[in-house]
Amino acid sequence: MGDKGLSVSRHPRSLGENRYVYAVLSRRAKGISIGINLNPDKICNFDCIYCQVDRTTPSELREVHEGELLEELESVLTRAKDGGLYQEPRFAAVPEAKRKLSDISFAGDGEPTSYQRFREVVSSVADLKERLQLHGLKIAVLTNCTLLDRPAVREALAILDRSDGEIWAKLDAGTEEYYEKVCVPGGARLAKILANILEVSRLRPVVIQSLFLALEGAGPSIEEIGEYCRRLQEIVLGGGRIKLVQIYTVARRPAVSSVTPLTDSQVDAIAEQVRRVTGLPAESFYGSSAWQE
Ligand code: SF4
């Protein structure tokens, strides 16, 4: 993949010669997010119909070499800190106001918590952040929540609690049926995801990230969004803390070609319903179908 310019509809998981660490202009992080890919083999325990990871071509890289990953991260963070990173050609089209480091994120080409040494990598990243004196820089974990009940993952989250960590918990449905349809989770149950979200959100406030889409032109039903709001209410009633609900839609080429973004007004209507029904803060992030042009 060439080193083309960044935009919110273009999220290459590459940066120069790097194999694990990349930079994206994130509409939700509102700046430059430094991504860590712990799933270079592109294997995920979900199979979301909107997934942007291109699994039609095999991955050239299967292993995570942690030393290399940390070297890449140190180099990128150092260049971001002194501003040198933004002088690189790929940042030329990024508006000046967005040329700022907004977070380090564990995202990549699969479920980051599925990496067997997730806790150890998290610990090393937190240490590196300290050493580079990037105090206050957020470390976000974008997760489908299936593995948050693993003891080692819980320990990793506890490390993040001490290092500006934030959990972005995926919740794309209110019913098992719709969840199966959109995330195709192959055995994982929505009930388990909800239980995991409740558990972690009792210990620290979490961000809920919810992608809604149109499938063959049809968005989620009114009933589905009603059920989704009830699931959020149940988390809060169970003692969970939700600091923000992100309602967003497709912005990059999805795995299934009949998936398209919701319109801006559809995204806003869901966010408004979340605010009205649950009293939680909700933010809209609009989509794009630029990949079709
Ligand atoms: S959980 Fe994330 S990486 Fe995995 S299939 Fe879904 S969108 Fe893709």
**How many whole angstroms separate alpha carbon 167 and alpha carbon 144?**
10
Q: What pLDDT is recorded for position 2?
A: 41
Answer whether 209 contacts ligand 1 (Cβ < 6 A).
no
Residue 217 CB-density burial (10 A; 0-12 exposed, 13-18 middle, 19+ buried): exposed
Q: At 1, is the pLDDT very low, low, confident or very high (cuts 50, 70, 90)?
A: very low
Q: At 83, is the pLDDT very low, low, confident or very high (cuts 50, 70, 90)?
A: confident
Instruction: Tell which residue, 48, 108, 58, has the closest CA to residue 259.
Output: 48
Look up residue 152 and give its two tokens.
Answer: 């080692």
Q: What pLDDT is recorded for position 283?
A: 97
Look up residue 178 and give its two tokens.
Answer: 């719709």
In the predicted structure, residue 257 carries a pLDDT above the cut 90? yes
Q: What pLDDT is recorded for position 177?
A: 94
Answer whether 172 contacts ligand 1 (Cβ < 6 A).
no
The ligand 1 atom nearest the CA atom of 45: 4
The ligand 1 atom nearest the CA atom of 53: 8
What is the tens place of the pLDDT at every residue in 197-209? 999 999 999 999 9
In the predicted structure, residue 105 carries a pLDDT above the cut 90? yes
Answer whether 111 contacts ligand 1 (Cβ < 6 A).
yes
What is the tens place of the pLDDT at every residue in 215-256? 999 999 999 999 999 999 999 999 999 999 999 999 999 999
Q: What pLDDT is recorded for position 10?
A: 60
Name which residue leads in pLDDT, 189 or 13.
189
**How many whole angstroms separate alpha carbon 265 and alpha carbon 271?**
10
